[in-house]
């Protein structure tokens, strides 16, 4: 046709499935996945999380079964989050130090019955406090240095229980260096740290708080310690500090609304970079799926490849078992 310059025809490389696979720039594998699971008391218990379709809270024995299933699918690691009995919550989050708390028992049980899968544990006080905050409080103020001391004790408790990755999500200043020093001092130099380095004060955490039972407890908000969603340069400063203090890996949270942060972090530091596809992201997709507005499989996979394209080495996602099953079938 006159006037067309067809010297270059990019569509040639999109014409067939085999060509598209041959030139694909980013690929999602089961090795990119960390599966967050919620732990509850009891035995042989699974209960649905109302705001997160297909996600369940599990008793420790059921978490062991989930770990074995994840291992069979090739998922490298689980991230454990407790739903703590309200009777065990207090102003200081003292249950976090209990060597027989839910997370500690789950770590020991999974390590015994499903060895070889990585265990990542959250370090923050919000699953244990009666006020729902990640740190200790004096009046309405979240105390930084006193909280760091409590977080060190929590991290050591989890390391003694057999976790492989300590993941501080609290956003207190200086906690990575303090935790790294304490781990090394007690002979846990092999335990890794994945820092929630750029964690934003986001509206997308609601279903998670429902899952761990802290949503109705929160007094005020978390904007004095979690990051302002309008900031990008600040994220780089936070990541730099955490890496300098000994973090092995860094995380951006939430995920999809902050893909630009993922890209900047990876390009700037080149360190292992992860994102958390948080509960609100998951639930938005699943709500649309339930209404027939989105295709479950396609939306799930497309949302996750976005993280790879943005430079992430992996992603924490509640879609992990579904994705792994899909990838296994198509292998």
58-90 residue pLDDT tens = 999 999 999 999 999 999 999 999 999 999 999
- Contact indicator for 222, 298 with CB cutoff of 8 Å: no
CA distance 118 to 214: 26
- Contact indicator for 186, 214 with CB cutoff of 8 Å: no
Residue 112: active-site member: no
Tens of pLDDT, residue by residue over 35-45, are 999 999 999 99
- Low-confidence winner among 144-148, 205-209, 288-292 (lowest mean pLDDT): 205-209
Report DSSP state, residue 7.
S
pLDDT band at residue 15 under the 50/70/90 scheme: very high
For residue 11, give the 3-state DSSP assignment.
Answer: helix
For the chain, give the mean pLDDT.
96
- Domains, in order of start, for the chain: 28-330 (3.20.20.70)
Taking the CA atoms of residue 290, residue 294, residue 296 and residue 301 in that order, the dihedral angle to the nearest 10 degrees is -150
Q: How far does Cα 89 stand from its chain's mean position? A: 23
Catalytic residue among 199, 222, 266, 308: 199
Phi, psi dihedral angles at 84 (to 5 degrees): -80, 135
Residue 260 confidence (pLDDT) above 70:
yes
pLDDT band at residue 108 under the 50/70/90 scheme: very high
Residue 308: active-site member: no
Positive or negative, the CA dihedral 150, 151, 152, 158 is positive
- DSSP alpha helix (H) spans, 49-143: 60-73, 102-113
Give the largest CA-CA distance in the chain. 78
Q: What percentage of the chain exceeds 70 in pLDDT?
A: 99
pLDDT band at residue 1 under the 50/70/90 scheme: low
Give the other-Cβ count within 10 Å of 44's Cβ.
Answer: 9
Give the other-Cβ count within 10 Å of 243's Cβ.
Answer: 18
> Which residues does residue 144 pair with via DSSP β-bridges, in sequence order?
none
- Contact indicator for 325, 33 with CB cutoff of 8 Å: no
Residue 216 confidence (pLDDT) above 80:
no
Question: Per-residue pLDDT averaged across 231-255, rounded?
Answer: 98
pLDDT band at residue 214 under the 50/70/90 scheme: confident
Q: 110: burial class by Cβ within 10 Å (0-12, 13-18, 19+)?
A: buried
Strand 141-142 versus strand 137-138 pairing type:
antiparallel
* HEC assignment per residue over 44-73: CCEEECCCCCCCEEEEHHHHHHHHHHHHHH
CA distance 223 to 202: 9
CA distance 46 to 54: 11
Catalytic residue among 112, 222, 253, 266: 253
Q: How far does Cα 186 stand from its chain's mean position? A: 26
Give the other-Cβ count within 10 Å of 101's Cβ.
Answer: 23
Residue (of 42, 30, 2) closest to 323 by Cα position = 30
pLDDT of residue 306: 98
């Amino acid at each position: 046709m006159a006037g067309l310059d067809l010297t270059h025809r990019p569509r040639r490389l999109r014409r067939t499935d085999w060509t598209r696979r041959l030139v694909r720039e980013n690929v999602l594998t089961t090795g990119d996945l960390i599966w967050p699971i919620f732990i509850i008391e009891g035995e042989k218990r699974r209960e649905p999380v109302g705001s997160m379709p297909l996600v369940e809270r599990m008793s420790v024995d059921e978490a062991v079964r989930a770990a074995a299933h994840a291992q069979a699918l090739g998922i490298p690691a689980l991230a454990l989050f407790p739903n703590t009995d309200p009777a065990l919550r207090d102003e200081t989050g003292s249950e976090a130090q209990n060597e027989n708390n839910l997370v500690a028992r789950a770590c020991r049980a999974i390590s015994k019955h499903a060895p070889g899968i990585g265990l990542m544990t959250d370090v923050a006080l919000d699953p244990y406090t009666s006020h729902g905050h990640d740190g200790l409080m004096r009046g309405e103020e979240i105390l930084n240095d006193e909280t760091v001391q409590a977080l060190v004790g929590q991290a050591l408790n989890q390391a003694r229980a057999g976790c492989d990755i300590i993941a501080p999500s609290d956003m207190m200043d200086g906690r990575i260096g303090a935790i790294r020093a304490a781990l090394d001092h007690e002979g846990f130099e092999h335990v890794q740290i994945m820092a929630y380095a750029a964690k934003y004060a986001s509206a997308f955490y609601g279903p998670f708080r429902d899952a761990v039972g802290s949503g109705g407890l929160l007094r005020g908000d978390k904007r004095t310690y979690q990051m302002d969603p309008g900031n990008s340069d600040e994220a780089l400063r936070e990541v730099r500090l955490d890496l300098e203090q000994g973090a092995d890996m860094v995380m951006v949270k939430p995920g999809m609304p902050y893909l630009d942060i993922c890209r900047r972090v990876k390009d700037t530091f080149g360190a292992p970079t992860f994102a958390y596809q948080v509960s609100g992201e998951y639930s938005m997709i699943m709500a649309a799926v339930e209404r027939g507005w989105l295709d479950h499989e396609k939306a799930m996979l497309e949302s996750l490849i976005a993280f790879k394209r943005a430079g992430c080495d992996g992603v924490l996602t509640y879609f992990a078992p579904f994705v792994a099953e899909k990838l296994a079938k198509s292998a």
